[in-house]
Structure 1
């Protein structure tokens, strides 16, 4: 166990030390403000304050972990060996940067509470982030800093044996609409027919009626393929089904449709199933509750995980609503059009509410790549390189790689050609050194 001596034990300090020490590095941490307790401790120990006590392992503290609310913080990002960091410490500190303060800034999403420009859906975009502007979005910096901390501790305490964590994957299958043509109802089928006809999309019109007459397979119905892949993998896939009402933003299947209900039940026999909350559930607790109860009725167990439509988050309200409904995990944190680490980490972390200054029980699984972001690269060779680069970044720190694919990504639709091969690269990455 690591004992941390500090002048003040704050909620922020406990939160970030527990993430770095326990979740990322795998050892326990405790805190004290008493010098005699610190001296008596005969294992890992460090001081985290403004001045060292003597010649102990010392990291000079930044004020952010002892503050409350939001403040205008000056951030100067500097190069640190193979990565970047901020909150520079000077020479006396065992680490040149206060990685705990910097990690708190990243994990709490401090910058997302500050004024920023949003996109047309009201989302925080990658280009507004410190990580994008300073060129470290493609690295899980919090985990990298944690391993640098472990390395420094190992030099100071060579007899201590640290536990080892292994690289893992958690493939996400987002299902905004389980079928392209099937189970859409008479009015939507008629509307789609008229639209195809007047836009001269005769191939789409032909495919629509071939599917409806049972002569062709629905292109979005890729679930047999995915379940076969699940059977070959030791890591559980997590499917998020949209079961909200039809709207301008959400164009899924009627949540009472027997084919959809049967499909969800079938998928839940092999993989984990979560709720893809509708666009309007994001700001309406009653709508979210209705969708949660509907999903629990279908899968017959308490709902554990959710993901918001359009990867939209309103901090802290979105997460507070999930906590109120006792949803344990969220998979919305990430960027739709940018590959990288929105919270700077590839280790799941608990949501810290900056308004209430408390660590909450909601576990955030930040995703690192979405299929749409790979469409920006032209050749399949480029796509593979981009994918392998992000996988290797996660592997270096034995993190959890979370990619988001959609059910239609595995169809024969031209734009998704080759994506099955990319998915196989992710599944195979577990067995490769």
Structure 2
């Protein structure tokens, strides 16, 4: 067992990050003891010690004193160590220096504050700039500005910290993680070609707004074939998704909208989706909740929608993702906690893919206003197809390259490659050139599948 000595300040925050790193990620038992003689952390194991400098909490005087943009670093330095096989590790808090000998290590990298920064998302609480949908953007994050958004640096910290522990206690054993690919599908629509009014609106968008007459003509022909029952609606991809996942021993997770009050909601009545839900459940797929556009900080609306979905689906939903990835820390997490949800998978960026929380492992979340660890777990979203196609406007070749790099980065750490591919972005004219990327992910990027 490890013993961690720390000053008795910010106990809730410290206990949280110790619990995540030691218990949830490393699987190591630990004990905490107050130490009023130092501002830093001392980790004792096998009569050896690791001294870790506190470069964060010691600077805070009030209980929520860290919730200020002034404590976000202006520059991130990097640390390398050939002996521990560490290359250019971003150091959010602390100094890139570690000194080792036989039974003592002095570490000036503040692992605890750096991981706390990434996991809790307090960064987003103190930075006010938002996009048109009131979302915190990747481009405003410390990770993007310092070029490590594509790296799960919390996982990197954990691996390095594990090596430090093994330097002092070679027989120490750790939790084993297994790589898992998790396909998720937000069901924003269940059909593309509905009534004549919606068809006219979609075609006007192609011809007039987007000025893409060839796409418009193809869509007009597809609409005619679908409404004539000659061709299947391109959004009806549930059997295709399910069968492909089953062929590769994966389980797809389908998150259904159920109401809403904005123009971005109510694309279908949940009663219309009941046969689809029954089919998915019969195929042992996961059905979850996709709370509407405005619900991310509206408890009553969130609750009403969830109850309606459960009534129609005939089951208790325990996981899902917010519509449009609208999320506010810790408000949204607090709603999910109150509703007894087990897993959220909202926290990924819409504009750029990568590791918004700095990790590809699921983790228990922290309410930094009420200063407590919640039962809710976050399973971070790593990649969304809309990001590659619509936001970044990448070619299919470049989009595939980015998806492949992220996939194998997650695989390196045996984490969860949780990605979002909408059911409505499979067989449409616009999205078909990117379908091979989805299939490559499901198949694990076979060598002949690029």
Alignment TM class, shorter chain as reference = 0.7 to 0.9
Q: In the alignment, which residue of structure 2 is the partner of 1:311?
A: 325
User: Is the contact between residue 246 and residue 254 of structure 1 (CA under 8 Å) also seen in structure 2?
Assistant: no
Shift in CA distance, 231/49, structure 1 to aligned 2, threshold 3 Å: same
Q: Does 1:394 align with 2:410?
A: yes
* TM-score where L is the length of structure 2: 0.84
- Counterpart of 2:279 in structure 1 is 266
TM-score w.r.t. structure 1 length?
0.87
Q: Larger deviation: 267-276 or 409-418?
A: 409-418
Shift of 1:4: 1.5
Pair 1:77-2:76 in alignment: yes
User: How many angstroms does 1:149 deviate by?
Assistant: 0.1
Q: Answer yes or no: is 1:416 the counterpart of 2:447.
A: no
Aligned pair count reads 413
What SS class does the counterpart of residue 49 from structure 2 fall into? coil
Please state if 1:7 is matched with 2:7: yes
In the alignment, what sits opposite 1:228? 243
Match of 1:95 in 2: 107
Q: Deviations over 1:159-194 (max 9, x none)?
A: 22334222112111111001111xx4x5xx335336
Q: Deviation digits for residues 192-235 of structure 1, max 9, x if unmatched?
A: 33663785745433422321231211011111111101222333
2:234: which partner in 1?
Answer: 219
Aligned: 1:366 with 2:407: no
Asked if 2 retains the 8 angstrom alpha-carbon contact of 1:48 and 1:59, the reply is: no
Partner Cα distance (1:357, 1:147) in 2: 27
Q: Which residue among 11, 34, 40 is the counterpart of 1:49?
A: 40
Deviation at 1:283, TM superposition (A): 3.1
Distance 1:34 1:131, change over 3 A: closer
Change (3 A) 1:58 1:320: same
Q: Given the alignment of the two structures, is residue 140 of structure 1 paired with residue 152 of structure 2, yes or no?
A: yes
Could you tell me which of 25, 31, 51 is aligned with 1:58?
A: 51
Which runs of no fewer than 5 residues in structure 2 stay unpaired?
A: 81-86, 100-104
Tell me which residue corresponds to 2:399.
Answer: 383
Q: Which position in structure 2 is the counterpart of 1:30?
A: 31
SS of the residue corresponding to residue 306 of structure 2 reads: helix
TM-aligned CA deviation for residue 48 of structure 1: 8.5
Change (3 A) 1:130 1:22: same
* Secondary structure at 1:263 match in 2: helix
Pairwise CA RMSD of aligned residues? 2.7
Partner residue in 2 for 1:18? 19
Change (3 A) 1:149 1:374: same
Aligned to 1:44: none
Counterpart for residue 68 of structure 1: 63
1:164 to 165, 176, 196: 176
Check if 1:290 corresponds to 2:301: no
The alignment partner of 1:235 has SS state of coil
Give CA deviations for 1:272-297 in whole Å, capped at 9, x if unaligned: 11111111222322221121111111
For residues 351 and 183 of structure 2, the distance between their equivalents in structure 1, rounded to whole angstroms, comes to: 18
- Residues 30 and 298 of structure 1: CA distance in aligned 2, closer, same or farther (over 3 Å): farther
Match of 1:208 in 2: 223
Question: Cα 1:315–1:56, aligned 2, differ >3 Å: closer, same or farther?
Answer: closer
Q: Among 211, 223, 241, which residue is 2:256 paired with?
A: 241
Does 1:152 pair with 2:161?
no
Contact 1:109 1:343 in 2 (8 A): yes
Matches within 5 A, 1:175-214: 175-181=187-193, 184=194, 186=195, 189-193=196-200, 196=203, 201-214=216-229
Maintained 8 Å contact 2:72/2:123: no
Q: Deviations over 1:254-307 (max 9, x none)?
A: 1222xx111012112321111111112223222211211111113322110121
Distance apart, 1:108 and its partner CA: 0.8
- Paired residues of 2:292 and 2:323 also in contact (CA < 8 A): yes
Question: Residue 356 and residue 230 in structure 1: after superposition, are their counterparts in 2 closer, same or farther (change >3 A)?
Answer: same
2:354 counterpart residue number: 340
Gaps of 5+ in 1: 36-46
SS in 1 for 2:288: strand
CA deviation map 1:330-381 (0-9, x unaligned): 1110111201111111111122111111011111111111102222364433
